[in-house]
């Protein structure tokens, strides 16, 4: 099982994501954004950071990186793609998951621990999360206010597209609609979330709840191989 973690200019959680995947038992390697193939990766992670300095809009420029063509093809073949924080913003700009991430309602860069409810445990990204378990993970972002206009937002809720929601006691840190912290695409193979599972992958860091997501992802990719990824 090989995990590919894309490095854009300005990514800064790439090595943590590799480490998280390794802790969960996978092989993991970094993929350069100028490459146009995934070097045989079975699943792809777009990590956190500030790709292209977040100029214009967070994720807007990264979406045109050569590797994004391969990521799009991988998703089209049913391959798994996880976008974390800035990676979520890139997926949203690329239209691979619904919605947009606006400036936090507070106008501040919010960095703190939050709690998440897992709305769907039947996804490849959450299958290893025990029933009823809430997850503790940190956030660190300036643009994480999830937005989707109506009626698309109602449609997203109706199809079970919301996977993670901010929960009490810390609550919604950024003004996201419906407390949404993470969503999944209609095909159920591409997921984006603002909190950082890779920064909560070891008890040394204060929580290893994030490992549950890495484990889910890796076990699911092993169960449903996509064939020779380009």
Residues that bind other proteins (CB under 8 A): 56-57, 60, 64, 93, 99-100, 102-107, 145, 147-149, 175
Q: What is the DSSP string of 62-85?
A: GGGSTHHHHHHHHHHTT-EEEEET
**Residue 150 φ then ψ, to 5°:** -75, 150
Cβ proximity to other proteins: between 19 and 103 the closer is 103
Catalytic annotation present for 19: no
Of the residues 13, 74, 85, 93, which is catalytic? 85
Cβ proximity to other proteins: between 29 and 152 the closer is 152
Q: How far is the CB of 3 from other proteins (least distance, A)?
A: 29
Catalytic annotation present for 143: no
Cβ proximity to other proteins: between 176 and 216 the closer is 176
Cβ proximity to other proteins: between 83 and 197 the closer is 83
- 100: tokens are 């947009």
Q: How far is the CB of 103 from other proteins (least distance, A)?
A: 6
| Whole-number Cα distances in Å, 142 to 48, 137, 157, 204, 211 | 12, 17, 25, 26, 24
Q: How far is the CB of 141 from other proteins (least distance, A)?
A: 14
Catalytic annotation present for 110: no
Cβ neighbours of 130 (radius 10 Å): 8
Find the angle CA(3)-CA(114)-CA(156) to the nearest 5 degrees.
70
Q: How far is the CB of 107 from other proteins (least distance, A)?
A: 5
Residues in the chain: 230
Show which residues are catalytic. 85, 196, 198
């Amino acid at each position: 099982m090989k995990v590919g973690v894309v490095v854009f200019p300005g990514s800064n959680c790439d090595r943590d994501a590799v480490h998280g995947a390794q802790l969960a038992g996978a092989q993991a390697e970094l993929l350069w954004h100028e490459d146009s193939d995934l070097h045989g990766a079975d699943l792809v992670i777009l990590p956190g950071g500030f790709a292209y300095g977040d100029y214009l809009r967070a994720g807007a420029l990264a979406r045109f990186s050569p590797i994004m063509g391969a990521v799009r093809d991988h998703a089209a073949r049913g391959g798994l793609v996880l976008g974390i924080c800035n990676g979520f913003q890139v997926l949203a700009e690329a239209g691979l998951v619904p919605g947009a991430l606006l400036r936090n309602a507070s106008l501040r860069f919010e960095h703190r621990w939050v709690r998440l409810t897992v709305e769907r445990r039947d996804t490849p990204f959450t299958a290893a999360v025990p029933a009823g378990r809430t997850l503790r993970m940190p956030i660190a972002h300036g643009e994480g206010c999830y937005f989707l206009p109506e009626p698309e937002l109602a449609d997203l809720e109706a199809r079970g597209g919301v996977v993670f929601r901010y929960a009490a006691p810390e609550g919604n840190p950024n003004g996201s609609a419906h407390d949404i912290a993470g969503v999944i695409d209609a095909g159920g193979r591409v997921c984006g979330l603002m909190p950082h599972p890779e920064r909560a992958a070891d008890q040394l860091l204060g929580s290893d709840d994030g490992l549950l997501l890495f484990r889910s992802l890796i076990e699911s990719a092993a169960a449903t191989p996509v064939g020779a990824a380009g």
